[in-house]
Amino acid sequence: MLTEENKNPIEDLIESGNEDANPEMASSNSANLPDNSNSDELEKLKAELIDQKDKFLRLYAEFDNFKRRTSKERIDLIKTAGQDIIVELLGILDDFERAQRMSVETENKNLYPEGMELIYNKFFSLLTHKGLKALDSTGTDFNPELHEAIAEIPASSDSLKSKVIDTTEKGYYLGDKIIRFAKVVVGK
């Protein structure tokens, strides 16, 4: 039950049975109503009070859960706000990396000049600053939650079985969420 300072006047009336709260009302009520109806009414009021308290507590708990849920959703939305545009820019990043790799393989500096290297570095650092992180796959165990196997080739040794032998397209994280799976070649 409640302490004296937390009680409200209605609870005082209920606990006292209306006799102590207002003597004039008590005498007029007892003259007009028999004792039985007064106690029935008191029981109804007590039950209604308990029901209203229960409804209030449930509503308060529901509202508190709503606040927590919306706060969590807002934080998640802020973390991945630019996800759509970053996913679209990953194709451009792939093209830069292919051109860079082709330039190194053919030993032809004209394919990927120094200016392109600067643009790539600036572009990649911008995306990294926004929360993008590359998934390093080559040489790791194949994980279907991170990798998309596009081919299986016979492994040259037992140590390469079920391992990623080559990455054809990098996978990326945005924060803690994977936004693109790595396309890999797996040894069997």
180: CATH: 2.30.22.10
Confidence of residue 164 (pLDDT cuts 50, 70, 90): very high
CB-CB contact of 88 with 132 (8 Å):
no
Residue 91 and residue 27 share a domain: no
pLDDT at residue 6, rounded to an integer: 53
1 found inside a domain:
no
pLDDT digit string (tens) for 89-98? Answer: 888 888 888 8
CB-CB contact of 13 with 41 (8 Å):
no
State yes or no: pLDDT of 26 exceeds 60. no
State yes or no: pLDDT of 19 exceeds 60. no
Total number of domains in the chain: 2
Domain boundary among 44, 79, 114: 79
Spatial separation of the C-alpha atoms in residues 160 and 163, rounded to whole Å: 5
Domain boundary among 30, 62, 79: 79
Spatial separation of the C-alpha atoms in residues 16 and 13, rounded to whole Å: 5
Residue 72 and residue 13 share a domain: yes
Average pLDDT, the chain: 82
Q: Compute the Cα dihedral for 83, 87, 92, 94 and give only its sign.
A: positive
Q: What percent of the chain has pLDDT over 90?
A: 39
How far the first Cα of the chain sits from its last, in Å, is: 71
150 found inside a domain:
yes
Residue 17 and residue 42 share a domain: yes
* Residue 17, domain extent: 7-79
State yes or no: pLDDT of 150 exceeds 60. yes
Residue 94 and residue 39 share a domain: no
Out of 14-28, 70-84, 170-184, the most confident range is: 170-184
Selection from 175, 144, 143, 141 nearest residue 161 by Cα: 141
Domain boundary among 56, 79, 102: 79
pLDDT at residue 21, rounded to an integer: 43
- DSSP per residue, 152-175: EE--SSGGGTTBEEEEEE-EEEET
Residue 49 and residue 21 share a domain: yes
2 found inside a domain:
no
Residue 96 and residue 65 share a domain: no
